[in-house]
Amino acid sequence: MTTLYRGGKLFDGLNEPVEGHAVLVEDDKIAKVAPAAEFDGFQGDAVDTTGGTLMPGIIDCHVHLCLGAEADPRAAGDKLTTGEIVVRALQRAQESLAGGITAIRDCGGRDYLEFAVRDACNAGQFMGPSIRCAGRMICMTGGHGSYIGRIADGKDEVVKAVREQIHAGCDLVKIMATGGVMTPGVNPEDAHYSADEMAAGIGEAKRFHRRTASHAQGAEGILNAVRGGVDSIEHGFFMTEKCVEEMMERGAYLVPTFSALTHIIGMQDHGVPAYAVEKASRVAEAHVASIKMFYSAGGKIAMGTDAGTPFNKHGANAQELAYMVEVGITPLDALRFSTGNAADLVDLPGEGRIEEGAFADLLVVEGDPATDIEMAANRDNHRMVVKRGQPVTGETLAAGANLQPIAAE
């Protein structure tokens, strides 16, 4: 199947959108990107993008497929059978794809149930985003996420927990460096693991060629993770200049997840646990200041939403781009953070950019999102989502058994 996209602007995942270029897709990959005049006389299928922009599909580097964005996702999830959790996780993955999110990184699941969704989507058995999974997040006794994570204390036990995730088939390892908002009785500011424990876990993951992510909100925990060699800091509420300096020295990414706090605070009167509302309200101002400081310094940022937390819905992930712009990130940078940068962090080298040889994971939006981010952030402005060269529709989501496998061979 060959399709030509032409007529509108082109954002390639890195540079400012340009006019007058066209993109030729053959089967599941981009065959050619060139000035539109080079395709004069083309007689095959064509998509007219006039008045809009063709861009890479958006990549969300932080979701939880086993959480459903209820006011209290933990309580809601505890009522479900394992089969119900898997089916709903697949629905959430597909809803994300329909919302323009062509790849996701699940940063903590439930008993590896999300692996079945990952494997089915990546194998093309169901149409869905490319999926990377962390498995069970690793946390200390009583730590953030301990109700669902792998509890480990001390260096030896942390190393063992990392090996368990690798044996189970994780794509990355996530270690909880600090307390968090959605766990009662813990403070986001507090470091949970010691520097030695963090370094041991991260080092073991790297020994087996796994990327690493750390839930890290307080400054001490952020530094423990960064000094241990972590690839990404998730949330980063209480960054200091020292945190920024050391993250930039080591090339660590920051995944801000503005959507999580925004929805907890905005929907606090709709059943969100009081302890979560209190903590979210307390840390929100520091969070914005931290991300602005890191961004102004030129630090590496990748988009993530924490989808699945209260009222933070799978399928509305793209709204994170608007939240980034609201705090001072330029629309063009928000687009870069959500495509090329995100693909780099998630380790999807064939995605996140429109270039010859890349996978045809595409999004056609109205207008120019580099000047009006709502064109990409608001799915009402999405004209078309394309996964591996196939338009994403209700019919293809329902069928979806004839796709090429997503995992690179």
Residue-wise pLDDT tens digits, 225-254: 999 999 999 999 999 999 999 999 999 999
pLDDT the model gives residue 404: 61
160 falls within a domain: yes
Cβ distance 183 to 147 under 8 Å?
yes
Q: Are residues 240 and 369 in the same domain?
A: no
Q: 94 and 173, same structural domain? A: yes
Whether residue 393 is found in the same domain as residue 293: no
State the pTM of this model.
0.96
In a shared domain, residues 372 and 270: no
pLDDT tens-digit readout, 107-130 = 999 999 999 999 999 999 999 999
Q: Is the pLDDT of residue 408 over 70?
A: no
- Residue 251's domain spans which residues? 58-346
pLDDT tens digits for range 282-295: 999 999 999 999 99
For residues 360 and 341, membership in a common domain is answered with no
Are residues 91 and 140 both part of a single domain?
yes
Asked if residue 29 belongs to a domain, the reply is yes
Q: Is residue 409 in some structural domain? A: no
User: Does 406 reside within a domain?
Assistant: no
- Quick one: 29 and 177 in the same domain? no
Examine the domain organization and report whether 264 and 224 are in the same domain: yes
What CATH number is associated with residue 21? 2.30.40.10
β-sheet with 52-56: strand ranges across: 9-10, 52-56, 362-366, 382-387, 390-391
CB 138 within 8 A of CB 176: yes
Q: Does residue 407 fall inside a structural domain?
A: no
We report the CATH number of the domain holding residue 317 as 3.20.20.140
From CA 165, how far away is CA 150, in angstroms rounded? 9
> What's the total number of domains in the chain?
2
pLDDT band at 222, cuts 50/70/90?
very high
**pLDDT tens digits for range 46-71:** 999 999 999 999 999 999 999 999 99
